[in-house]
């Protein structure tokens, strides 16, 4: 038997014991529990004491991490070795936020110099747009950016902008991802073409949704300003020739590399729109916060390593206790997109059914993630969290200092965050209520992550925390966390269906699909 298989067996045995105790009671039997399960890393505080694990369970999970050789896998990741096995690539998004002078390599080849060159070009462009040195074709300064992308080319920058945007921005930033023309129409409404930049983000510059929107947006520009408006076009792509053929000036094409996965790409030139709209100082601080988490992940011992422990808590719930769904609730309206961001990060990375070497997985993999901003979520799905038949672990995020508004309202927000974590754990026995409808079973686990402020550095650290947590889980499950073949089949079939909807010959389909196509063509 392999060591890792024995470790999984030990975890299963440990989890059976969790059914015989309550989380609340562990605080009495483990006097050091709060101190032992509270960590500080890169400006974040993690309280994992309300998770259902005992001291012995944590040790069992750490044994699993050692059996999976998480530390060696981490070393290979940062060394730039091939960790995306099915595509034969490293995964070196950490290099994008490393400070100048770092010496990171991809398959032994130095890459930090290239990263710094692109970063310097981004900075020069961002500062030129913000200062007015770079203007539109009519001589007017840019006041708006329309960022066109999808998936990782959209979710990361959109999250960063929503989290950090000023109340009265110098440059407005809007996003278009869905091929539904309504989103583009809403994004362009009220904008002046003479003052608008179009930033198209596509690694291959062939993505159907992105190019459809980019072509429509370019037509909007040209209808108002003529072909001179092509100077308003910016592209972020690993296919510069295709971007230039589209009409983007060569000096406004910003590249990135195949070792940057889409859902990890906000740190690259994919984040250019944010760098312009937020300013370079904010974008640089965002990188610095993530790099601080990178250094923590690299150097902290496993028992005090924030991404490792957060991953182990999730694995204990997912695999040990059979809980396939997790909620993520940030008590910060500015982080309302964090759950959708994690849906891509975690579910695309780890939603796999075969191991890295192609064998069927032996264990359940990624949990389904959902959530919304608190307190909104309390008036939607918290009924199920408190009194539903399924136990749904929850990650609660809170920010100590609000960025604007009434401090009294911020205290009410924080009171709700803390109270919900307590209520989920302690519940309310039926004996203390007039009827069963008002009883709460409690014993529902949560992780609590506290930021002093929602600033660029702490946002960067928060995203990097979950990136590394996702990687650790993939190592434990022995899967490739960096490919995403599951998105390909539907896209391929959509191309065939589109040809039929546009008048092409009917193809071979199942009866239901054929009927739907016929109905849509009628």
User: What is the C-alpha to C-alpha distance for residues 119 and 280, in angstroms, rounded to an integer?
Assistant: 10
| Catalytic option among 40, 401, 432, 491 | 491
203 catalytically annotated: no
Name, in order, each residue with C-beta under 8 angstroms of 17's C-beta and a sequence gap of 6 or more: 54, 57
Rounded CA-CA distance 43/452 in Å is 8
Number of neighbouring beta carbons within 10 Å of residue 379: 10
352 is catalytic: no
Residue whose pair of structure tokens reads 């759950």 in the numeric block: 339
For 100-125, letters b (16+ CB in 10 Å) and e give: eebebbbeeeebbeebbebbebbeeb
User: Is 450 in a helix, a strand, or coil?
Assistant: strand
Are 320 and 328 a contacting pair, CB within 8 Å?
no
CB-based contact 254:234 (threshold 8 Å): yes
Asked about 478 being catalytic, the answer comes back as no
Catalytic residue among 172, 209, 348, 478: 348
Query: Catalytic pick from 40, 215, 379, 521?
Result: 379
Residues 6 or more apart whose Cβ sits within 8 Å of residue 519: none
**DSSP letter string over 184-232?**
HHHHHTT--GGGEEEEEE-SSS--HHHHHHHHHHHHHHHHHH-GGGGGG
Answer yes or no: are the C-beta atoms of 231 and 249 closer than 8 Å.
Answer: yes
Catalytic residues: 348, 379, 491
């Amino acid at each position: 038997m392999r060591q890792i298989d024995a470790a999984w067996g030990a975890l299963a045995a440990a989890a059976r014991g969790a059914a015989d105790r309550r989380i609340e009671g562990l605080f009495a039997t483990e006097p050091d529990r709060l101190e032992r399960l509270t960590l500080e890393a890169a400006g974040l505080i993690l309280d994992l004491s309300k998770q259902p694990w005992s001291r012995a369970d944590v040790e069992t999970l750490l044994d699993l991490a050692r059996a999976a050789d998480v530390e060696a896998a981490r070393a290979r990741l940062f060394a730039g070795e091939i960790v995306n096995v099915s595509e034969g690539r490293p995964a070196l998004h950490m290099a994008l936020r490393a400070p100048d002078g770092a010496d990171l390599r991809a398959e032994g080849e130095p890459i930090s110099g290239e990263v710094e060159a692109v970063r310097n070009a981004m900075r020069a462009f961002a500062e030129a747009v913000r200062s007015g040195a770079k203007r539109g074709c009519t001589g007017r300064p840019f006041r708006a950016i329309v960022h066109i992308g999808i998936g990782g080319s959209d979710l990361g920058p959109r999250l960063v902008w929503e989290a950090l945007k000023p109340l009265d921005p110098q440059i407005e930033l809007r996003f278009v991802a869905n091929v539904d023309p309504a989103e583009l129409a809403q994004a362009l409404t009220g904008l002046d073409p003479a003052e608008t930049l179009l930033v198209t983000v596509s690694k291959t510059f062939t993505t159907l949704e992105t190019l459809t929107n980019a072509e429509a947006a370019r037509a909007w520009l040209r209808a108002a300003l003529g072909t001179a408006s092509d100077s308003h076009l910016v592209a972020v792509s690993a296919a510069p020739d295709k971007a230039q053929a589209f009409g983007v000036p060569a000096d406004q094409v910003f590249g990135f590399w195949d070792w940057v996965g889409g859902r990890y790409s906000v740190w690259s030139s994919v984040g250019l729109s944010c760098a312009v709209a937020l300013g370079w100082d904010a974008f640089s601080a965002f990188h610095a916060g993530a790099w601080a988490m990178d250094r923590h992940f690299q150097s902290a011992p496993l028992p005090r390593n924030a991404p490792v422990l957060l991953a182990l808590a999730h694995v204990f719930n997912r695999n040990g206790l059979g809980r396939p769904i997790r909620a993520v609730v940030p008590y910060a309206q500015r982080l309302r997109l964090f759950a959708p961001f994690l849906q891509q990060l975690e579910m695309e990375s780890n939603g796999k059914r075969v191991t890295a070497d192609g064998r069927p997985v032996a264990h359940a993999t990624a949990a389904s993630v959902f959530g919304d901003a608190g307190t909104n979520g309390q008036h939607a799905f918290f009924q199920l969290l408190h009194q539903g038949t399924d136990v749904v672990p929850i990650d609660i995020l809170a920010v100590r200092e609000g960025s604007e508004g009434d401090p009294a309202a911020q205290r009410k927000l924080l009171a709700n965050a803390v109270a919900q974590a307590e209520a989920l754990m302690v519940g309310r026995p039926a004996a203390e209520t007039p009827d069963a409808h008002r009883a709460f079973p409690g014993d529902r686990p949560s992780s609590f992550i506290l930021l002093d402020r929602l600033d660029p550095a702490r946002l960067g650290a928060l995203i990097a925390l979950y990136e590394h947590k996702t990687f650790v889980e993939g190592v434990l499950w022995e899967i490739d966390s960096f490919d995403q073949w599951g998105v390909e089949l539907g896209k391929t079939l959509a191309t065939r269906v589109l040809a039929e909807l546009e008048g092409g010959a009917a193809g071979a389909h199942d009866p239901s699909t054929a009927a739907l196509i016929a109905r849509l063509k009628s």
